[in-house]
Amino acid sequence: MTEPPRPPGEGNPTDPTAPFNPYTGNEPTSGSAPPPPPGAPHPPTYGTPTSGGGYPPPGSGAGGYAPPPSGGYGPPPGGYPTGGTPPQYGGYGPGSANEDKTWIMVAHFGGAAGAFLGGGALGWIAPLVAMMARGNQSPIVRQHAVAALNFQLLWTIIAVVGYALSCIFIGFIPILAAVIVGTIFGIIAGVKASNNEPYQYPMTVSMIK
């Protein structure tokens, strides 16, 4: 026997996709959500559902803010400013490091050689030559040359005093001291400078600035 057609809106209780009708009592099948009551706001949707069944977060679609690139944000145009520091004692200036180092070796080792070969009275010549030849172009060379020159000048004066007193027995003592001190500490300063290490001459005075 064929069932007569139902009025519109009553639905079909045997059809799981039929809308719920409170008068007929047909209920949706399990797993399907009932429709919202009349006048209720619909939940917002963002774009289209993803493959996992959800919606993408706001801002990831059109009209939103795109996430930063995988590598993060790069430095500003032109790079970050870097502060420079003037060369310190024991360092070599950029661009002419080899030439600066050569003149620094001349100042220290040359002063030691002059003190040894000149009887303690000629150690000042090599530092003075280094300062005059390269000191105006390189501040670090001038710094080393001035330090060596001040040290060798002091012990040159001591050696000259020893030569003046050579007429008596004690005259050889300051001469010998000038030779030994000027040679040993000049070599130490040269080795330190070759290893790019700071060094301060002992027993010296600042006569030349």
Q: What is the mean pLDDT of each run of 10 residues along the chain (209 residues)?
A: 56 53 51 61 54 52 51 51 46 68 95 93 95 93 95 93 79 86 94 91 88
User: Positive or negative, the Cα torsion across 72, 79, 91, 98?
Assistant: positive
pTM of the model: 0.54
Distance between first and last Cα of the chain: 124
pLDDT at position 41 is 62
Residues near 67 by Cβ (< 8 Å), separated by ≥ 6?
A: 60
- Structure letter (DSSP) for residue 136: T
Q: Are 73 and 114 in contact (CB under 8 A)?
A: no
Whether 73 maps to a domain, the answer reads no
pLDDT at position 172 is 82
- Domain of 135, in residue numbers: 97-194
Residues written for the chain: 209
Whether 102 maps to a domain, the answer reads yes
pLDDT at position 90 is 45
The domain tally of the chain equals 1
pLDDT at position 186 is 95
Cα-based angle 118, 138, 78 (whole degrees, multiple of 5): 160
Whether 162 maps to a domain, the answer reads yes
Whether 11 maps to a domain, the answer reads no
Whether 33 maps to a domain, the answer reads no
Whether 88 maps to a domain, the answer reads no
Instruction: Name the nearest CA neighbour of 198 among 88, 87, 105.
Output: 88
Q: Are 90 and 193 in contact (CB under 8 A)?
A: yes
Whether 2 maps to a domain, the answer reads no
Whether 111 maps to a domain, the answer reads yes
